[in-house]
Structure 1
């Protein structure tokens, strides 16, 4: 009996000590607790990046479509019959084609509808032009389809190349930002993801096409400031007269303006191009 009484007494004392300890812990201020029981440390809040809101795209009414003529190089195959044999000759010349763009409700696709057919390089240029225009205007095109339509000469089977890329960017921007274009101006030049206007080939042929199309200003990349021309040289050796074409490098602007009578201007960026392709503001003073 005594052993049992001693055991109960020891258990009672231990229980009393435990209750007193718990009471002290509960009443102690949080700052005095051990690290394991103290409140968690405050974490630093990182700054949140500010993103400009995407703009809604106008898909109906005025401003949903735009078009402009652009000079391109086309290839024609001429068949010449010399006796029993046929000879095919590929001739390159400049021509004006009409490029238009339309923004319609859709699924974020870029579609190219062409007459004549367009090559893969041209279609890649259309996709890049859309990316550049959308980034610049911050327009949300995920629920819109961009449709480029190209109408060229009926006797041309196919057109390819990136030289209409700069114009396609401007056409789409004119729709997204709702501004008119100057129809007396045209441009030939590529465009990259940074909005830089790049050089193209066939400058003289394209200038001739622009002049025939009634354009008064041809805009080129600053990298197209020189072009190759050919001057006729005649040499006589006794009774033999030899005529040959000697290639020379000339200033593109000076040569085209003097020979064709159409003005030329160089640009390097999309912003420079927009300044020249926008239609003049209407005169409201009268």
Structure 2
């Protein structure tokens, strides 16, 4: 065999070995790439789940913080709720219905909960009695109205100058289904308006909704879940939505998706301040949002337009 043929055979053998090596390497690289791609997808899914959980926890934290503020204030004033009220005394009879909005908890996936607004009806009935405040729900609604209802009675007495010490106040909250409501005190403003209407014999508008705690001095306190409640009210045909002072502006979380490398997405929710009214308009609802600071400012807005 000539030297040229030997060299050619050697080159062919070397080329074959190199091709085998490159093929094995390519197969290994493709396998590694698939594993990395699967890992990226898993991390992206975990990131989205964690981000969603954080958003849900932020909503719950806002609601709980507002409730803690409310109950802290009631602790300070609680001794005054025993019922020393001046003004006209005697038993009364009356009835009024008002819209109530709250936030309900909904199971979402494994160990996750999301929060949505829910619209309810509250009926206030005045009967001759002993000054008791009775709260019922139909069907079962996990809502705490006892403390806020007692404050509402006191404020209604101050507003009208009428004592209810010989009148029982019966409050019945009605919903379309059994729900677990997480923010009962936020119905205080609406309940107060209904008690006043029952005393005075006035009607309340069926298209006005409100959220806000009520304090013994008649001031309206802040609440959580304003956006969720506003949407629930809008879905029921609200034309006006009353909110505590400073809460006509809300924080919404815009979804932002980033893809630093192909196949790996990072999802973040960026906080952004917007007006509640424009937020509702963006969803196709036309609701007038009005801030109120006290029952004296709010009550006239509950009444039907002339």
TM-score for both structures, normalised by structure 2: 0.66
Query: 2-side partners of 1:141 and 1:252: how far apart?
Result: 37
Q: Does residue 58 of the first structure (1) align with residue 58 of the second (2)? A: no
Q: Does 1:190 align with 2:224?
A: no
Per the alignment, do residues 90 and 136 of structure 1 end up closer, same or farther by CA in structure 2, a change over 3 Å counting?
same
Checking the alignment, whether the CA contact within 8 Å between 2:244 and 2:291 is kept in structure 1 is: yes
Q: Which of 164, 167, 172 is the equivalent residue of 1:144?
A: 167
Aligned ranges for residues 199-278 of structure 1 at < 5 Å?
199-239=222-262, 240-259=264-283, 260-278=285-303
Work out whether residues 57 and 176 of structure 1, in 8 Å CA contact, stay in contact via their aligned partners in 2.
no
Q: Counterpart of 1:34?
A: none
Q: In 1, distance between residues paired with 2:267 and 2:195?
A: 49
Partners of 1:74 and 1:238 in 2: CA distance = 39
* Cα shift readout 1:93-142 (whole Å, capped 9, x = no counterpart): 1111111100001111000011324444x210011000100122121212
2:104 to 66, 74, 82: 74
Structure 1 residues without counterparts, runs of 5 or longer: 1-50, 81-86, 282-286
User: Given that residues 103 and 181 in structure 2 are in contact (C-alpha distance below 8 angstroms), is that contact kept between their aligned partners in structure 1?
Assistant: no
Asked if 1:177 corresponds to 2:200, the answer is yes
Structure with the largest fraction of strand: 1
147-156 or 162-171, which deviates more: 147-156
Q: Report the alpha carbon displacement of residue 193 of structure 1 after superposing the two structures with TM.
A: 1.0
1:158 is displaced (CA, Å) by 5.1
Task: Verify the 8 A CA contact 1:104 1:145 in the aligned structure 2.
Answer: yes
Q: Per the alignment, in what secondary structure is the counterpart of residue 157 of structure 2?
A: helix
Match 2:153 to one of 99, 122, 130: 130
- Asked if structure 1 preserves the Cα contact closer than 8 Å seen for 2:90 and 2:165, the reply is no
| Contact 1:230–1:248, Cα closer than 8 Å, also in 2 | yes
Q: 1:53 to 1:237 in 2, by over 3 A?
A: closer
1:192-213 superposed Cα distances (whole Å, 9 cap, x missing partner): 1111111111111111100111
Q: Deviations over 1:12-59 (max 9, x none)?
A: xxxxxxxxxxxxxxxxxxxxxxxxxxxxxxxxxxxxxxx974154531
Cα distance in 2 for partners of 1:111, 1:180 equals 22
Q: 1:71 Cα shift?
A: 1.3
Contact 1:231 1:248 in 2 (8 A): yes
Structure 2 alignment gaps of length 5 or more: 1-84
Corresponding residue pairs, total: 219
8 Å Cα contact 1:108-1:141 kept in structure 2 = yes
Contact persistence 1:256–1:264 (CA under 8 A): no
Moved over 6 A (4+): none
Aligned equivalents of 1:172, 1:269: Cα separation in 2:
15
